[in-house]
Structure 1
Amino acid sequence: MSQSIQKEIHNGVATLTLNRPEVFNSFNREMALAFQNELDACENDASVRAIVITGSGKAFCAGQDLKEVTTPDLNPGFKKILEEHYNPIITRVRAIKKPIIAAVNGVAAGAGANIALACDIVIAHEKVSFIQAFSKIGLVPDSAGTFFLPRLIGFGKASALMMLGDKVSATDAAEMGMIYKVTSLENFQTEIKKVAVTLAQMPTKALGMTKQLLNESMGNTLEQQLALESKLQIEAASSEDYAEGVAAFVEKRKPNFKGQ
C-alpha cells in the first residue's frame, strides 16, 4: 500500500488517512491514485460498513500540491489532474453505497475542502477552517465545489466564499449548514469514533439506498423521486436487516444488523 494513504479497519470502520503531512496532505498524482484504490477496496470489502476520511498532522487537506504543477518533469497537466485525480475521487465518494464521514482534523482548502463537502457527514473540531482558495491563484473551484456548496449554504453565500476566498471557521461552517457538526478539539476523536461505529452497526444496505436517493434528488423531478423512493423502499423491505429491525422492535430489544 502507498505510504501516502494509511488505512485501518476496526469494528467495521475503515479509516483512510491522507498522509503527506509535510505538505499539509496536498494531493500529488501518486496520492490521488492511491486514494482511489483504497476507496475501491473499501467499497468491495463486505467487512467495511462505514468509511472515515481524515488527515495526518495539522491539516485535513490543502488541495493540489502546487509544487507538482509548477515542476515541468512532474506536472501531469490540469486536464489529467481533473479527469484522472479529482473527478474520479468525487464520483467514488458519492457512488460508494456506504456512509462516508469526513473527519476534518485541520485546514481544508481548495479541492481538500470540496472532497470533504462531498462526503455524507462532515465533522470538524473548533480550530478547523475551510477555504475555497482557488481565486487566490487565478483558478476556478473544482472537485464538485460548485455543485455541492450552493446546495449546502445557498447560491449567494457560496458565490461570495468562492470569489473572495474567505476563511470559514468550523463554527461558522456548522452554523451556515456547510458541515454537520463542530466539536471541541478534545472531544473530536471520540465523536468521530462514536458516529462511525454507530453507522457501521446500522442497516448498511438501507443507508446505501438513502445515499442513492439523495444523489438522484439533485436532478430528479418530484414524480421521478417518488418513483425511485417506491422502488428502493420495496427493495429495502425485502432485506434481512428490515426483518431484523422489525423483529427487534416487536421484541423490544436492540437490533443486530448485518448490513444485508
Structure 2
Amino acid sequence: MSNVVVSTVEGPIAWVKLNRPERLNAMNGTLVAGLSEALEGAEADENIRVVILHGEGRAFCSGDDLKDLDAQTACEADTQAWVEAIQNITIQIMQSRKIVIAAVHGWCVGGALEWAINCDFRLFSENTRWFFPEVTYGLFVTGGVTALLTKQVGPQVTKELLILGERHDAKKALETGIAWKVVPDDSLLDEARQLALTIAKRPSVAVADVKRAINEGLHSSLEDAMAQETAATVRGFLTPEAQARAKEF
C-alpha cells in the first residue's frame, strides 16, 4: 500500500491515516486509491470493528489537489473516472459493516468534508476549519451530501453551506450537527480511540445492522443523489471557467 495512506491495526481498531502532510493531505489519485484499499482491507478483517479515519500533519484533508487539475480534466473519461473514484469512497464508508469514525483537525475541505459527513461519528478538534468550495469554482459537491445534508440540517442551511461556501469553525460544525462532538486539539485521537473501544464492546452484528438500517432508511435516495452529483461534477470539472477559478485559487 502506498504511504499516502497508512493503515495500522490496534486490537479491534483500524487506524487509517491520510499521509500527504506536505500537501495538507490533499486528494490525488494515489491517495484516493490508497484509501479505498485501506477501507477494503478493514472490511475484510473480521477482527476489526471500528475504523478511525484521520490525517497526518496540520490538516485532516484540504480537498482535491488542484495541482492535479490538468490530469483530472485531460478528457471526459478521465474526469468521469476521477469523480467515480471519489464517490466510491462514500459507498465504502456508508455501506461498510464497520463503524467509521472521522477524527478531524485543521483544514477539512470539499471532498474530504463530504467523506467526513459519510462517517458514522465525527469528532472535530477545536482548531478545525471547514467549508465547501466547489460551487464557488463552478464545480459541484460529491459524497451524497445534497441528500445527506438536506435531511440532516434542512434545505435552507444546506443551501447556505454549499452555495455561499463560507469558511466555518468547529463551533459551527457542532451547531449544524456536522460534528458529533468537539474536543481539545491534543485529545482528538484519544477521544476517537475511547469511542471506538466503547463501540467495539457492543455486539458486532447488532451494531452493523443498526448502521445499515439507519443509512438505508434515512438516506434512501443516496444513490440517486450521487448519480446527479457525479454528472454535475464531471460537467463542472470540464468547464474552462471552473478550471481557471480553481487554478487561480
C-alpha distance in 2 between matches for 1:16 and 1:177: 23
State percent identity of aligned pairs.
27
> What whole-Å deviation, never above 9, does each CA across 1:91-133 have from its counterpart, x for those lacking one?
0001111110000022110000000000000001111022111
In structure 2, relative to structure 1, the CA distance for the partners of 1:136 and 1:45 (3 Å cut) is same
State the one-letter code of the partner of 1:173. Answer: A
Of structures 1 and 2, the one scoring higher in RCO (CA 8 A, sep 6+) is: 2
> For the Cα contact (< 8 Å) 1:5–1:35, is it kept in 2?
yes
Q: Which residue of 2 aligns with 1:225?
A: none
Question: Which structure: larger Rg?
Answer: 1
- 2:186 aligned counterpart, secondary structure: coil
Cα offset, 1:78, TM superposition: 2.1
C-alpha distance in 2 between matches for 1:72 and 1:192: 34
- 2:122 aligned counterpart, secondary structure: strand
Question: Number of matched residues?
Answer: 219
> For the Cα contact (< 8 Å) 2:52–2:102, is it kept in 1?
yes
Unaligned residue ranges in structure 2 (runs of 5+): 221-249
Unaligned residue ranges in structure 1 (runs of 5+): 221-260
C-alpha distance in 1 between matches for 2:207 and 2:182: 23
Q: Which residue of 2 aligns with 1:24?
A: 24
C-alpha distance in 1 between matches for 2:196 and 2:65: 29
C-alpha distance in 2 between matches for 1:40 and 1:33: 11
C-alpha distance in 2 between matches for 1:110 and 1:20: 16
Q: Which residue of 2 aligns with 1:237?
A: none
C-alpha distance in 2 between matches for 1:72 and 1:174: 33
Between stretches 135-144 and 109-118, larger displacement belongs to: 135-144
> For the Cα contact (< 8 Å) 1:69–1:77, is it kept in 2?
no
The alignment's TM-score, normalised by the length of structure 1, stands at 0.80
State the one-letter code of the partner of 2:31. Answer: M
Cα offset, 1:187, TM superposition: 2.3
The alignment's TM-score, normalised by the length of structure 2, stands at 0.83
Q: Which residue of 1 aligns with 2:183?
A: 183
- 2:124 aligned counterpart, secondary structure: strand
In structure 2, relative to structure 1, the CA distance for the partners of 1:208 and 1:2 (3 Å cut) is same
Q: Which residue of 2 aligns with 1:95?
A: 95
Are residue 129 (structure 1) and residue 162 (structure 2) matched?
A: no
- 1:179 aligned counterpart, secondary structure: coil
Higher helix share: 2
Q: Which residue of 2 aligns with 1:238?
A: none
- 2:168 aligned counterpart, secondary structure: strand
> For the Cα contact (< 8 Å) 1:68–1:74, is it kept in 2?
no
> For the Cα contact (< 8 Å) 1:20–1:56, is it kept in 2?
yes
Q: Which residue of 2 aligns with 1:82?
A: 83
User: RMSD across aligned C-alpha pairs, in angstroms?
Assistant: 1.8
- 2:177 aligned counterpart, secondary structure: coil
Between stretches 112-121 and 30-39, larger displacement belongs to: 30-39
Between stretches 196-205 and 14-23, larger displacement belongs to: 196-205
> For the Cα contact (< 8 Å) 2:60–2:108, is it kept in 1?
yes
